[in-house]
């Protein structure tokens, strides 16, 4: 397969993944708005505290083994079955830990009601263990259409359960049930639509081989997840549940957009790059294309969302959520540069350098921890700004190994992003001027959104931006293929 066909294959699968993420996240977004209008911010803050612990434990569910299955050149049923049984044992052990630790967590935050919430929500660990290898199988074999049915089915079903329970006055348990039902139905549908089943076979030798690659990614993911959630733990302890709720709500809007685009590209890049790990030029070409294309899509959305933040929050979430606006804007500019992180890290993993991946995480977290220890005493806003700072520092650190691995320096990567950055900032400056007219929130948004899109795409066409022409051609080819 030549380089053009490889890139085309990546984009085609990424589009399927994107459609799946958009459908699921679109439903989730609507439901979250409905629930946010019904439930008190403190409820969200309480769930966020519990989710911190389950998210950290979730890292162990994968143990880096899912990525190891995808990256390995010749994976067979013995590899998949071995990882499946290993994951089940690990997940049962993790649930036992969370069940036992629940009273300690509740005591630490002086919130006795957390104990049953932790124990019930932690059931997601066991369900994820059943689902994990199926996900790896889908990614390994580029069957991303299968995700569409499982994810959308789970999301829609959970939406009905969550809204019904919220209206019935179940409070925090509406959010708990929504999370549990979503993952359970998602897993069931994936098992029904994907043919692979675990065989009665297990190999310690295969497990050892996969773990030799995966454990470094496990530690890297653990460092990243634990440290990312450390901010929430500190906010929950030093400040209030309301502060934590506003902080998390500020992250929701930009994360919704980024997770759709970034997850779509991320899940497709690793298996595709891994299949070409012996051809440096092809991996370099895919990395460059990923940075250009995802930046072209993500940058204007993040800048536009930051500009429209206040009227959007007031209109959609009501006045009680206005304190989240500054956090939302900070997260927008932090997430805007995720494409460069994703592309560089996937290239490093695909080249089999999980050791380098781990070293990068250690360096980043050492710098980040220093910044956090300085800012945590100056308020939640200072902690949020530290994330923005680390977004820029992280770009330099993540891109460094690819100077040698791919002969693709950060200066070249930034040059590839620069047209999209400049065009997005110019669009944002013009769109911001609309807010100075003091119109109603809905009128302001009705002008800002189409105006921003017209400026961005119009200027892309006028200046013949390479990324615009590429995205347009790939969209046309995708539609033509599906019609044929």
Angstrom distance (rounded) from CA 482 to CA 167: 41
Residue at 16 is within a domain: no
Domain C-terminal end among 218, 238, 258: 238
Is 195 found in the same domain as 265?
A: no
Is 120 found in the same domain as 135?
A: yes
Is 170 found in the same domain as 268?
A: no
pLDDT in tens, 78-117: 888 998 998 889 889 989 998 999 999 888 877 888 899 8
Residue at 158 is within a domain: yes
- Cβ 428 vs Cβ 333: under 8 Å: no
What average pLDDT does range 439-465 have in this prediction? Answer: 92
Is 255 found in the same domain as 399?
A: yes
pLDDT in tens, 395-412: 888 888 888 888 888 889
pLDDT in tens, 280-305: 787 788 888 888 888 888 899 999 99
Residue 149: its pLDDT value, please? 63
Angstrom distance (rounded) from CA 276 to CA 73: 10
> Measured between alpha carbons, how far is residue 40 from residues 18, 28, 175, 255, 321 in Å?
32, 18, 12, 21, 10
Torsion of CA 442, 447, 448, 454, to 10 degrees: 150
Is 266 found in the same domain as 223?
A: no
Is 225 found in the same domain as 250?
A: no
What are the structure tokens assigned to 115, written together? 């104990």
> Measured between alpha carbons, how far is residue 396 from residues 146, 221, 327, 356, 364 in Å?
36, 19, 24, 14, 10
pLDDT in tens, 170-221: 888 888 888 888 888 888 888 888 888 889 998 888 888 888 777 777 777 7
Predicted confidence band of residue 19 (pLDDT cuts 50, 70, 90): low
- SS3 call for 258: helix
Residue at 294 is within a domain: yes
Predicted confidence band of residue 2 (pLDDT cuts 50, 70, 90): very low
Is 283 found in the same domain as 362?
A: yes
- How many domains does the chain fold into? 2
Provide the angle, in degrees to the nearest 10, between the axes of the packed helices 280-307 and 410-432. 20
Residue at 172 is within a domain: yes
Angstrom distance (rounded) from CA 439 to CA 375: 37
Domain C-terminal end among 238, 271, 297: 238
Q: List the helix and strand counts (H, then E) for the chain.
A: 20, 0
Angstrom distance (rounded) from CA 267 to CA 262: 8
Residue 264: its pLDDT value, please? 62
pLDDT in tens, 109-160: 778 888 998 899 889 888 888 888 888 887 777 666 666 666 777 777 888 8
| pLDDT > 70? residue 5 | no
Is 273 found in the same domain as 164?
A: no
Residue 459: its pLDDT value, please? 93
What are the structure tokens assigned to 449, written together? 């959104």
Domain C-terminal end among 238, 269, 286: 238
Residue 274: its pLDDT value, please? 63
Write out 109-169 in H/E/C secondary structure. CCCCCHHHHHHHHCHHHHHHHHHHHHHHHHHHCCCCHHHHHHHHHHHHHHHHHHHHHHHCC
For residue 375, give its domain range.
239-478
Is 386 found in the same domain as 330?
A: yes
Is the alpha carbon torsion for 104, 108, 113, 114 positive or negative?
A: negative
Is 277 found in the same domain as 213?
A: no
Predicted confidence band of residue 22 (pLDDT cuts 50, 70, 90): low
Residue at 22 is within a domain: no
pLDDT in tens, 341-394: 878 887 887 777 777 878 888 888 888 888 888 998 888 899 889 888 888 888
pLDDT in tens, 217-265: 777 777 777 777 778 778 877 887 788 888 888 888 888 777 766 666 6
Provide the angle, in degrees to the nearest 10, between the axes of the packed helices 241-275 and 380-399. 10
pLDDT in tens, 58-81: 777 765 677 777 777 778 888 889
| pLDDT > 70? residue 333 | yes
Residue at 13 is within a domain: no
Residue at 19 is within a domain: no
Q: How many other CB atoms are found less than 10 A from the CB of residue 104?
A: 10
Residue 320: its pLDDT value, please? 84
């Amino acid at each position: 397969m030549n380089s053009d066909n490889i890139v085309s294959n990546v984009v085609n699968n990424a589009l399927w993944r994107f459609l799946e993420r958009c459908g699921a996240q679109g439903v989730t977004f609507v439901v979250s708005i409905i629930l946010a209008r019904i439930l008190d911010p403190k409820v969200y803050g309480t769930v966020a505290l519990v989710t911190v612990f389950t998210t950290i434990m979730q890292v162990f569910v994968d143990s880096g083994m899912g990525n190891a299955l995808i990256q390995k050149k010749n994976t067979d049923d013995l590899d998949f079955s071995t990882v499946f049984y290993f994951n089940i044992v690990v997940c049962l052990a993790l649930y036992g830990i969370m069940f036992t630790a629940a009273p300690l967590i509740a005591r630490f935050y002086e919130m006795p009601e957390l104990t049953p919430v932790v124990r019930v929500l932690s059931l997601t660990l066991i369900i994820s263990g059943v689902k994990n290898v199926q996900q790896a199988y889908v990614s390994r074999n580029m069957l991303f259409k299968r995700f569409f049915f499982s994810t959308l089915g789970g999301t829609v079903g959970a939406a009905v359960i969550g809204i019904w329970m919220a209206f019935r006055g179940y409070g925090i348990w509406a959010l708990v049930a929504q999370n549990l039902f979503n993952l359970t139905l998602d897993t069931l549908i994936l098992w029904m639509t994907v043919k692979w089943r675990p065989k009665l076979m297990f190999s310690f030798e295969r497990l050892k081989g996969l773990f030799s690659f995966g454990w470094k990614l496990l530690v890297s993911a653990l460092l990243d997840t634990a440290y990312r959630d450390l901010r929430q733990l500190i906010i929950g302890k030093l400040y209030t549940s309301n502060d934590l709720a506003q902080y998390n709500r500020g992250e929701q809007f930009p994360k919704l957009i980024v997770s759709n685009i970034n997850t779509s590209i991320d899940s497709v890049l690793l298996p595709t790059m891994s299949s070409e790990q012996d051809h440096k030029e092809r991996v370099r070409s895919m990395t460059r294309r990923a940075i250009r294309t995802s930046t072209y899509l993500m940058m204007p959305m993040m800048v536009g969302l930051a500009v429209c933040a206040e009227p959007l929050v007031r209109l959609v979430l009501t006045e009680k959520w206005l304190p989240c606006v500054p956090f939302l804007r900070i997260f927008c500019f932090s997430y805007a540069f995720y494409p460069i992180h994703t592309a560089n890290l996937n290239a490093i993993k695909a080249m089999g350098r999980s050791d380098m991946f781990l070293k990068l995480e250690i360096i980043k977290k050492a710098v980040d921890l220093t910044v956090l220890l300085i800012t945590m005493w100056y308020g939640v806003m200072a902690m949020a700004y530290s994330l923005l700072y680390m977004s820029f520092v992280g770009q330099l650190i993540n891109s460094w190994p690819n100077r040698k691995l791919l002969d693709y320096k950060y200066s070249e990567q930034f040059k590839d992003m620069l047209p999209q950055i400049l065009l997005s900032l110019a669009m944002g400056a013009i769109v911001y001027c609309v807010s100075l007219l003091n119109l109603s929130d809905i009128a302001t948004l009705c002008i800002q959104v189409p105006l921003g899109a017209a400026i961005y795409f119009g200027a892309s066409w006028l200046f013949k931006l390479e990324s615009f022409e590429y995205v347009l051609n790939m969209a046309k080819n995708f539609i033509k293929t599906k019609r044929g």
